[in-house]
Homo-oligomer: A and B are copies of this chain.
Amino acid sequence: MQDNSASILLIDDHPLLRKGVKQLIEMNPNMKVVAEACNAIDGVKQAVEHEPDLILLDLNMPEINGIETLKMLREEEVSSRIIVFTVSDNEEDVVAALKAGADGYLLKDMEPEDLLTSLEQAASGTLVISPRLTTLLAQALQSNKRSDKVDTSSLTPREKQIIKLIANGMANKVIARKLNITEGTVKVHVKHLLKKLRLRSRVEVAVWAVQEGLN
């Protein structure tokens, strides 16, 4: 806050890389590295102490990995924007990072000048993502299509309909009213679909349906 340059914290277990990134960043007078850390514990400590505008966080770290670190930072209610900065273009990592609340995901193989502009954007509040990851993100959203372990095909239309209503949190009685059938009949359908899906309660049905994207 003393000057108008964005303060940055680097968390990465690789000293050489920190050095390089720091040099790069400080070529831009609008940004300044105010602290560095080589592991999660120290990173969280520095973050709490400095409350930087941006945190550049590596995913591959010994002991506690980046995602965990991210969660720890969120627990501490650090207000900084957290940008994951890593070599991993693995779908799971990207999705996990974003779900954990990352404000950006940049790959280490970016061109230096692109990195700088991305960081400036991030500092100004934009969610930044390496363009290479577009397809990955789209696939993550599509998640339903793939991996239908349970054979949803054996379900009758009525059963599918009731699954959706259960996934909306409705009780048997409410479902019965909505479909103009008796509660007993709803129970019959529920019983059958539980058998078919090999689940043990409507709660499991609900979470399964939501995760499968049956809306």
Contact = CB atoms under 8 A, between A and B. Distances in A.
Number of chain copies forming the complex: 2
Nearest to A135: B127
A101 B210 contact: no
Contacts of A200: 169, 171
A99 B141 contact: yes
Nearest to A199: B169
A156 to B, nearest CB: 15
Given A134-B137, A207-B207, 19 more contacts: A95-B141, A98-B138, A99-B142, A99-B215, A101-B142, A101-B145, A105-B138, A126-B135, A127-B135, A128-B135, A129-B135, A133-B134, A134-B134, A137-B138, A137-B141, A169-B203, A169-B207, A202-B203, A206-B207
A89 interface: no
A161 interface: no
10 contacts: A99-B144, A101-B142, A137-B141, A140-B141, A141-B141, A166-B203, A169-B207, A171-B200, A206-B206, A210-B211
A141 B213 CA distance: 13
A107 interface: no
A168 interface: yes
A22 to B, nearest CB: 26
Contacts of A142: 98-99, 101-102, 127
A141 B98 contact: yes
A2 interface: no
A211 B101 CA distance: 14
Interface string A158-188: 0000000011111100000000000000000
A144 B95 CA distance: 12
